[in-house]
């Protein structure tokens, strides 16, 4: 396994832990971002990730059950398909051409998907009353990677305005605030 595959396994594992422990009835709890419920957090990932890989890399992931019917099984199907994609050297090395520029499938999963899953782990935990603690190493890595692109990220419309926090706040608080969420 590559470092990227290992990182995906770790981050996806933390998201999976939250998904499988969502309390009964909590899938409809309000969630960050605004106007979402907990189920929408999983739905967002299950919708955009296969679409991205299909459009920009010609990689077709097998469809899982609908999130509306079974968010746990829908997430597990996506997680397993992404892991299989990363663990297949030919597919992982395949060209991927998203708007920021050419890369490989493996690098796109790392840059876009693993990072999105990390932040959405917090969203799901916040919505459902689960442990909001994220992996400190991954949080630090993502915070450092995102900060230089502040203007571009805001202009993309994918992030709300940065929420101000104390200069001495921990990295997780800074990351969550950087993405426009209220820690």
Q: What's the whole-number mean pLDDT along residues 92-104? A: 95
The chain-wide mean pLDDT, for the chain, equals 95
Q: Map out the domains of the chain as residue ranges.
A: 3-134
Q: What's the whole-number mean pLDDT along residues 100-128? A: 96
At residue 151, the pLDDT reads 83
C-beta contacts of 50-55 below 8 A and 24+ residues apart: 50/78, 50/81, 52/98, 52/108, 52/112, 52/113, 53/85, 53/96, 53/105, 53/108
pLDDT class for 1, splitting at 50, 70, 90?
low
At residue 124, the pLDDT reads 98
What does the pLDDT look like over 47-85, one tens digit per residue? Answer: 999 999 999 999 999 999 999 999 999 999 999 999 999
> How is residue 163 annotated by DSSP?
P
At residue 177, the pLDDT reads 95
Helix, strand, coil share (%) of the chain residues, nearest 5: 60, 5, 35
What does the pLDDT look like over 115-165, one tens digit per residue? Answer: 999 999 999 999 999 999 999 999 999 999 988 888 888 787 778 888 999
Characterize 128-159 residue by residue with b for buried, 16 or more Cβ atoms within 10 angstroms of its Cβ, and e for exposed. Answer: bebeeebbeebbebbbeebeeeeeebeeeeeb
CATH class of this structure's domain 3-134: mainly alpha
């Amino acid at each position: 396994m590559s470092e990227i595959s290992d990182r995906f396994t770790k981050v996806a594992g933390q998201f999976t832990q939250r998904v499988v422990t969502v309390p009964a009835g909590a899938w409809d709890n309000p969630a960050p971002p605004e106007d979402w419920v907990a189920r929408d957090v999983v739905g967002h990932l299950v919708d955009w990730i296969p679409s991205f890989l299909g459009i920009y890399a010609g990689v077709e992931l097998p469809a899982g059950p609908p999130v509306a019917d079974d968010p746990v099984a829908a997430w597990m199907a996506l997680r397993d398909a992404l892991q299989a994609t990363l663990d297949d050297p030919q597919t992982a090395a395949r060209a991927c051409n998203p708007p920021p520029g050419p890369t490989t499938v493996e690098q796109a999963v790392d840059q876009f998907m693993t990072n999105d899953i990390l932040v959405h782990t917090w969203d799901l935990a916040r919505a459902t009353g689960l442990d909001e603690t994220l992996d400190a190493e991954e949080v630090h890595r993502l915070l450092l990677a995102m900060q230089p692109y502040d203007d571009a990220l805001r202009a993309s419309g994918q992030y709300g305005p940065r929420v101000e926090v104390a200069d001495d706040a921990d990295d997780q608080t800074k990351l969550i605030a950087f993405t426009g969420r209220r820690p």
